Amino acid sequence: MTLAKRIIPCLDVDNGRVVKGINFENLMDAGDPVELAARYGREGADELTFLDISASVDDRSTTLDVVSRTAEEVFIPLTVGGGIREVRDVNQLLRAGADKVSINTAAIKRPQLINEIADRFGNQVLVLSIDARRANTVSGFEVTTHGGRQSAGMDALEWMESAVARGVGEILLNSMDADGTRKGFDLELIKAARDVVSVPIIASGGAGKVSDFSDALGAGADALLAASVFHFGTFTIAEVKNELAAARYPVRQ
């Protein structure tokens, strides 16, 4: 059976509000996360991704509250990321209503965390978020941290391969070069990733027009994540799905 291609709105949350910028800068307020999540649930989103971009230890309780309120409003899978540093953080988020967790910086600092989470909860719960950009590395792409501002000193594709071997069930692949530009997904990056891993790839960064989504699926993505084009009403989830269905991609209507 062919799996349906997923459309996933992304809620980047900063201090309890959804924000969006270009290349992670000049952030604008895009609304209340619980209200937006409920709207996307009604509009046919297949999943939601909730990323606390300002997560800190002090902020964790606020995040749990927002996650639990969001989970009460939506009946589609919810992935939560930001501030996850150990197994107990994952346990708290799953209890608050998350279906999956997304890890990034903590896994770079301590890759064994991937094994620990996968061993405890299963790899279907674990998404590795990679903020990649072009650089002079083996593959031509490097891993970045701090919203794409700092190099992690790692080749993006090598990191992806090793993380999957440790137990990551899915890759959230965000192109820092394309993020917020609305010039299309980074097809070269998606193709390169597809060549080295077999787990599902969620492509992120650069959606600007409806046809960009089918282009990314053609490059090898399994799911498509977008933020500003949905938050600010450029087009709807239904319009994207209609385009994909017309291009003969399986989607849930």
Query: Is residue 131 annotated as part of the catalytic site, yes or no?
Result: yes
Residue 107, both tokens? 């896994």
Catalytic residue, from 12, 32, 89, 186: name it: 12
- CA distances, 185 to each of 78, 102, 159, 225 (Å): 23, 20, 21, 10
Specify whether 52 is catalytic: no
Q: What's the rounded Cα separation, in Å, for the pair 90 and 195?
A: 30
The catalytically annotated residue of 14, 131, 186, 222 is 131
SS3 state at 136: coil
Q: Which residues pair with 6 in a beta bridge?
A: 223
Tell whether the torsion through CA atoms of 248, 207, 237 and 125 is positive or negative. Answer: positive
CA distance 38 to 245: 24
107: Cβ contacts below 8 Å, ≥ 6 apart:
113, 114, 128, 163
Instruction: Using alpha carbons, select from 77, 79, 86 the residue that is nearest to residue 105.
Output: 86
Q: Which residues is 19 bridged to in the sheet?
A: 29
Token code pair at residue 11: 């809620």
Catalytic residue positions, numbered: 12, 131
